[in-house]
Structure formats: C-alpha cells, structure tokens
C-alpha cells in the first residue's frame, strides 16, 4: 500500500469502564514556535483530562481513598470549597459514583465554572468575594459540620499529593525516560502537584530543578511569613501577604497544608513570581502561535518557563505544567478585547465577494 501521508490513529487498545478511567496519561507536547532556539520547552497539557483540568486527579483520589477507608458512606453528600477546577472534577466524579455534591465558591470566580458544576449536577453556594478563599473554606466547614457531610479537604488531605506522586510524576518519568529534563515549572493552588511530583523527582531525577511560581502581588510563600493554622492544619486566618490577583486557581489567601510539605522539605529550587498580565500575554501567545489552549494559570507558568529558557544553558529541556483549558476563562481578563462580532479586517474579507454578507 502506498503511504498517502495522511495521519492515522489506532485507538487506545482498550475499552473504558467509566469516565474516571480516562483520568491521567496526559500528553507532553513540544513547543515549536515560542521561546529561544537554544532550549527545548515542553508542556504537560492537563486539559486532556476528562473534565479538562489537573484537578480531576485529586478529585477521583479523594473520593476513592475515602471510600476505601470508610470515611465516605454510600449516598453521603460531599462538600468542598473551590475556585472551580476541583469542584468541576469532583462534580464529574460524584456524578459517576452517585454522590450529591455541594460546592462553596467565592463569587469572584468565573461564571462559567459554576455553570459547569451545575451542569454536572452539583449545587454551588456562593460566598462574598470580600471574604476571599478563607470565607468559602469556612462555609464548607460549617455545612459539613451542620449536615454530617463529607468534607473533601483538598488543601489538607494526603490524598491530594499522593495521586500526583502515583500518576503525574510517574508519567513524567516514563515520558522522559532516557531523555534530558533540566527544569520542571509549576504554580500552585493546593500545592498537590508540586509536592507529589517533587517527592518522586527528588529521588528518581535529582538533577531536575523544580521551579515554583506564584502571583507577583500575592507572594505568600516568598514573603516568608508563616501560616497560622488550626489544630487539624486548616488555615486559621488569611495570610498577611495575600492580595487579590487575576490568576484564578493559583494561590488562595492562605498557605495550604499540602503545599507546606514542599516548603518544609525544600522540594523546589527556585521561587519565581509572575504578574497576572504577563500570564495572560503568554496564554494568548500559546493559543495563537502553538494552538495550545490554556488558562491564565497555564499562561503564567509558561511565562515563567520562558524566563527560565532565556537564561538556561544551551540544550536545556524545560517541562511546563499547564493546569487547565482556556475555556474556563471566557468571562475573565484572558478574553478581554477578543470580540464577538466581526472586526474591520473580517468585514473587509466578507465584503470582498458579493454573496452571503451580514447586514
């Protein structure tokens, strides 16, 4: 048979018992048109998870670990505070497994996130934006205590970082087996990604430098102030160095206990802050120049990766974590200036032939 040159596929070689079995094994993709020529940048595109974010991983593990040890009873309502992606992941998991889900979320986060959760069957309870992340967190605690619901505890539970050590880190090891990997770049929300990956890479790939990032105007790790906590590790107060920032999903107004492990054990080699507008520029560049669609958090991580790339030794290889898809950000500054109607150039294209023109 003559090779036509057309792309072909072979299928995954298996049938899946549920949507939850498709979580993980996200692709590592080379960046070809952005960044300096003397280095190679890859991105790990977590939007390929079934609910389109890295938080699908912790969502399924929190529920299944609680099922295994009896903390979660059949039919019990699950409740959690989230900026969106964990809630969407939990909504997918709970829909498949038959658990009612109530999400608490500050009303500052994008409208499409709450609509997605409701589409997946969850109830979304909004909290005042002035109370920040701690307000939605305390509301979830109140609801769990008052109703006997299962609180997912994404910011404290060991089930969070454990799943990244068991899946995300193992995928990176397999994909870079026999290959260079000089830098891994990630931001943090709960801290599960950096903590879980670093546990493994510190042992298996100790030469890989781990770069952590946070918003330039909300440097709660870089500021050096410790987090006040309750006896169970939950945040007791908002962190003094927090300010509102546009990188949704990153950096709540407290240092999560899951992230504290990475801080205490020196799991990252450098902490690089990034301004939200720079993340937006980088996310737009990834979309327009690479066809890779990510949100402000992914754009911010990529912007830091470009900074690393500019100063890295020739031949360096950088892996950038992209947490989610840009479709979570339609009503955020990421899409400001992106018009709904035709612009002048598009109108000129339309008018260049006589038919089928808009009035």
For residue 310, the SS3 value is: helix
Centroid of chain to Cα 245: 16
> Has 297 been annotated as catalytic?
yes
> Torsions phi, psi of 46, nearest 5?
-75, -10
Give the residue from 114, 107, 109, 68 showing the smallest Cα distance to 91. Answer: 114
Sign of CA pseudo-dihedral 222, 300, 253, 53: negative
The count of other CB atoms within 10 Å of the CB of residue 162 is: 19
Cα separation, 318 vs 309, whole angstroms: 7
55 is catalytic: yes
Answer for the pair 304, 283: CB distance below 8 angstroms, yes or no. Answer: no
Which residue in the list 83, 297, 300, 316 is annotated as catalytic? 297
Q: Alpha-carbon dihedral of residues 162, 167, 169, 174, nearest 10 degrees?
A: 150
Cβ atoms 342, 358 nearer than 8 A: yes
Catalytic residue among 44, 53, 55, 238: 55
Residues forming the active site: 55, 297
């Amino acid at each position: 048979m003559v090779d036509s040159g057309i792309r072909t596929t072979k299928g995954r070689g298996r049938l899946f018992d549920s949507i939850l079995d498709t979580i993980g094994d996200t692709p590592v993709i080379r960046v070809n048109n952005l960044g300096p020529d003397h280095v190679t940048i890859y991105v790990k595109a977590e939007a390929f998870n079934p609910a389109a974010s890295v938080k699908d991983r912790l969502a399924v593990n929190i529920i299944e670990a609680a099922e295994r040890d009896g903390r979660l009873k059949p039919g019990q309502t699950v409740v959690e505070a989230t900026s969106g992606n964990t809630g969407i992941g939990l909504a997918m998991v709970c829909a498949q497994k038959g658990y009612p889900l109530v999400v608490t979320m500050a009303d500052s986060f994008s409208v499409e996130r709450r609509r997605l959760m409701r589409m997946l069957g969850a109830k979304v309870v909004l909290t005042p934006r002035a109370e920040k992340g701690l307000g939605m967190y305390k509301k979830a605690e109140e609801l769990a205590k008052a109703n006997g619901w299962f609180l997912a505890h994404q910011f404290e539970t060991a089930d969070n970082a454990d799943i990244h050590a068991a899946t995300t880190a193992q995928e990176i090891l397999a994909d870079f087996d026999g290959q260079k990997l000089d830098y891994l770049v990630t931001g943090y929300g709960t801290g599960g990604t950096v903590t879980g990956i670093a546990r493994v890479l510190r042992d298996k790939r100790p030469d890989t430098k781990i770069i952590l990032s946070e918003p330039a105007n909300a440097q709660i790790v870089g500021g050096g102030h410790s987090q006040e906590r309750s006896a169970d590790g939950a945040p007791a107060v908002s962190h003094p160095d927090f300010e509102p920032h546009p990188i949704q999903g990153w950096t709540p107004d407290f240092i999560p206990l899951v992230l504290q492990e990475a801080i205490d054990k020196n799991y990252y080699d450098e902490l690089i802050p990034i301004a939200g507008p720079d993340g937006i520029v980088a996310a737009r560049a990834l979309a327009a120049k690479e066809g890779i669609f990510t949100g402000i958090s992914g754009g911010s991580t990529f912007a830091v990766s470009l900074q690393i790339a500019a100063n890295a030794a020739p031949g360096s290889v950088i892996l950038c974590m992209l947490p989610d898809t840009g479709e979570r950000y339609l009503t955020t500054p990421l899409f400001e200036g992106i018009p709904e109607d035709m612009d002048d150039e598009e109108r000129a294209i339309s008018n260049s032939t006589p038919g089928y023109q808009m009035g």
